[in-house]
Amino acid sequence: MLDTSERHVYTPDHEAFRGTVRKLFDKELYPHIDTFESEGIVSKAFWRACGDNGLLCPTVPEEYGGLGLDFGYNAVVDEELAYAGSSAGITLQSDIVADYIVAYGSEEQKRKYLPQMISGELITAIAMTEPGAGSDLQGVRTTAKRDGNHYVINGSKTYITNGQNAGLIIVVAKTDPDKGAKGTSLILVEQEAEGFSRGRNLDKIGQHSADTSELFFNDVRVPITNCLGEENKGFIYLMSQLPQERLSIAIGAQAGAQRAFDEAVKFTKDRKAFGKTVFDFQNTRFTLASLKTELQVGWAHIDWGLKRLLEGKLTAAEASAAKLWHTEMQGRVVDEALQLHGGAGYMNEYPIARLWRDARVQRIYGGTSEIMREVIARTI
């Protein structure tokens, strides 16, 4: 269990909410994690349970069925989910997609989609990455061409989180390819749209319970009113929302690293070697001491970044630095923690194996570590 007793970024209300999250996860997540992993997808029943208990999209205003809370409540879910060792896509829905619709959606779009997202009835995805365009969103080739009162969408997307479960997808497409990034728009596509199809649930190194998919758009016709916000403003919208997304990833990385450390402490204090516990060896204790130091620094920085976000002050460079440092730190911690498990660490029956596998992609999605360094360097 995460120890939050000495943290000051959260209020008593946040911590009461954390109790609700933990109770729900004890009942609906922990007993089913292995099933979700083996099936390659999180059940829709889990999504609905999260919705029933107020875990989905807590920042959405009350007029659309939300709780109207601050992002600190999202962060609580992010921490507890990562500490549980789950890659369920609920954080994508709450931390990213919901904010796009609240910030840029029409009144009709908000009233149609947000209540269903909050209840867990509607699962969402955002389709940015393509076979030839990852961190460089300016390279998007999917097009949405006007045809009367409709857009006709053609293209393909890959590595899309919630791709199999999603009933609504925000598609990043070029509405004016000649303008490059300035010709990008965000288009809402429902799963029933003719010409839309899903590819396979991709076979990944880790995060097996996250349904990560290919999506295909073959002359998909949607009304012009499905444009999210203004036409050709999509790239600006994407850049505006990235700081929160990257802090969200950093929060998950920190909590995941903490779980790996805690697993290593538990294992080494229990495992015997040469007549004493593995923990009693100086090398083990010194390794754990170094990891604990990194985690202490990390939690202080996460709380600083979260406070900055809640105050509306977190910059793109600061968020990029947070994602860079915390995901790289997570990589170091999970690797050392697995090493301390010895041969057991390579066995899937131990949680550390999943924590190690799942951590690797953190340095890739949401902007690679190399792109984070580029963003930071531009401010120097």
377: enclosing H helix or E strand:
helix 369-377
Q: Of the listed 37, 245, 263, 318, which one is catalytic?
A: 245
- Is 245 assigned a catalytic role? yes
What is the C-alpha separation between 20 and 29, in angstroms, rounded? 13
Return the DSSP state at 175: S
Other CB atoms within 10 A of residue 293 CB: 10
What own/partner pairs with CB < 8 Å and gap ≥ 24 does 293-298 have?
294/257, 294/329, 294/332, 294/333, 295/254, 295/257, 295/258, 295/261, 295/333, 298/254, 298/257, 298/325, 298/326, 298/329
Q: Please name the residue that has the structure tokens 């600190």.
A: 72
Question: Residue 102's closest CA among 81, 124, 80, 79?
Answer: 124
For residues 136 and 122, the answer to whether their CB atoms sit within 8 Å is: no
Query: DSSP string of 27-70?
Result: HHTGGGHHHHHHHTS--HHHHHHHHHTT-S-TTS-GGGTS----
For residues 355 and 331, the answer to whether their CB atoms sit within 8 Å is: no
Please, what's the b/e burial string for 201-230 (b: 16 or more CB within 10 A of its CB; e: otherwise)? Answer: bbebebbbbbbbbbbbbeebbbeeebbbbe
**Residue 227 pairs with which residues in a beta bridge?**
187
The two beta strands, 196-201 and 272-273, are: unpaired
Other CB atoms within 10 A of residue 108 CB: 9
Could you give the residue numbers annotated as active site?
245
